[in-house]
Structure 1
């Protein structure tokens, strides 16, 4: 007698979610003020901070915070005096941040039903940052590119995250604010959410959140 294989009725078996500009939001008020005072277009400091030779090495764990700030300042030094460039770089590196409470609420609810993993192009000091946020119960773990040595949109980090979550790629929901990362996940067969606000995430999670809460995972 053949026993049919049980199939899950869940829409997906794991949620893989970006961190910055999805869960964590930065306050650029001071950086913007300094840029305007210096006569720079708003966003100039961010463009320098994540420009060639900085953004890639940063998220691959190859730059300390001090080295990153110094490099960011050098990228601005041809447009403003060196002291102002250093001030802008320091303000950007220490910009305050907070969580989006609606996104946090949704992900905590999702985690009651399936594994939730944060997948971020992060920094070597990410753990220090997260210690200041109330993320208790939000995720089963974090895949940080700076520790893994592979960054989105490389499929390697996405496959690694799916493996950590114990789910096949095609059984994952991937959430990210960058189109290139979403496209890379879709190419692996993942369901995707191109995030702009929590309103994009809520309908994607609705089928999962409508299901009964399972017994706690051990």
Structure 2
């Protein structure tokens, strides 16, 4: 007897699940100018600063300029520019263990990246050698809506060719996971590899 699959597509976040940054240089710079660790990230990710970039309304360069201006309230402009540059240019890596699990899942169902990203996502994927990794990529900057807006989940499910209720959604942000659950998806909060292993176990056997 064939055991039915628990879901027919995996919709997966990118940053915080697959891609991770080394922010050690930024942390050192923050200490050097007397800022608490994480101050730059708070400014960069403030909705009024990053949402236009995530919706594809401005370029990465314009986003950096907006972040620099916001940070210049706390430190001199030159230091603000150095901090924002260190944030954006921080070395990135892809988690090979996560990719390995997702590639195994791809043997059974489509895997779709669903990410709040800037217009640089295509270049970022290419740099990591992941241009052809996912079956589909849904970038907020290209579709004009960002998680946790229900529409981006609907677009991802449409791209996968699967009803919302037959999707597994994986993300490292609670609000995005809750939004997926509200649409009837199986949704998992990613805090580390064991979360993904558990979520994919019924599929991979």
The interval holding the TM-score normalised by the smaller chain is: over 0.9
Q: Is structure 2 residue 48 aligned with structure 1 residue 40?
A: no
Among residues 105, 115, 120, which one is paired with 2:115 in the alignment? 120
- How far the C-alpha of 1:137 sits from its partner, in A, is 5.8
DSSP-derived class of the 1:189 partner: coil
Please tell me whether the aligned partners of residues 122 and 131 of structure 2 are also in contact (alpha carbons under 8 angstroms).
no
Partners of 2:60 and 2:28 in 1: how far apart? 22
Deviations 1:59-97 (A, max 9, x none): 101121211111111111121111101110111111110
Query: How big is the shift at 1:8?
Result: 7.4
> Cα distance 1:148–1:141, how it changes in 2: closer, same or farther (>3 A)?
same
2:130 is aligned to 135
Query: Structure 2: how far apart are the matches of 1:161 and 1:136?
Result: 17
Contact 1:14 1:167 in 2 (8 A): yes
Partner of 1:69: 64
**TM-score when normalising by structure 1:** 0.90
Q: Are 2:26 and 1:24 equivalent residues in the alignment?
A: no
How many Å apart are 1:136 and its aligned residue?
A: 6.2
Q: Hey, what does 1:164 align to over in structure 2? A: 159
Structure with the higher fraction of residues in helix conformation: 2
Find runs of 4+ consecutive structure 1 residues off by over 4 angstroms: none
Query: Structure 1 residue 134: deviation in Å?
Result: 2.7
Give the structure 1 partner of residue 106 of structure 2.
Answer: 111
Structure 2 unaligned segments of length 5 or more: list them: none
Corresponding residue of 1:57: 52
Q: Indicate the structure (1 or 2) with the bigger Cα radius of gyration.
A: 1
Instruction: Answer yes or no: is the 8 Å Cα contact 2:10–2:169 preserved in 1.
Output: yes
* 1:180-199 residue CA offsets vs partner (Å, 9 max, x unmatched): 10000000110011001111
Q: Against the structure 1 CA distance between its residues 186 and 35, is the aligned structure 2 distance closer, same or farther, given a 3 Å change threshold?
A: same
Q: In structure 2, the residue corresponding to 1:118 is in which secondary structure?
A: strand
How far apart, in 2, do the equivalents of 1:57 and 1:135 lie? Answer: 25
Q: How many pairs align?
A: 204
Quote how far apart the aligned CAs of 1:166 are.
0.7
Which blocks of at least 5 consecutive residues in structure 1 are unaligned? 1-6, 211-218
Other structure's SS at 2:109 match: coil
Q: Distance in 2 between matches of 1:35 and 1:88?
A: 7
Is the contact made by 1:116 and 1:141 (CA closer than 8 Å) also made in structure 2? yes
Q: Secondary structure at the match of 1:122?
A: coil
- Give the CA RMSD over aligned residues: 1.3
- C-alpha distance 8-164 of structure 1, shift in aligned 2 (>3 A): farther
- State how far apart, in whole Å, the 2-side matches of 1:105 and 1:11 are: 20
Quote the Cα distance in structure 1 between the aligned partners of 2:154 and 2:47.
26
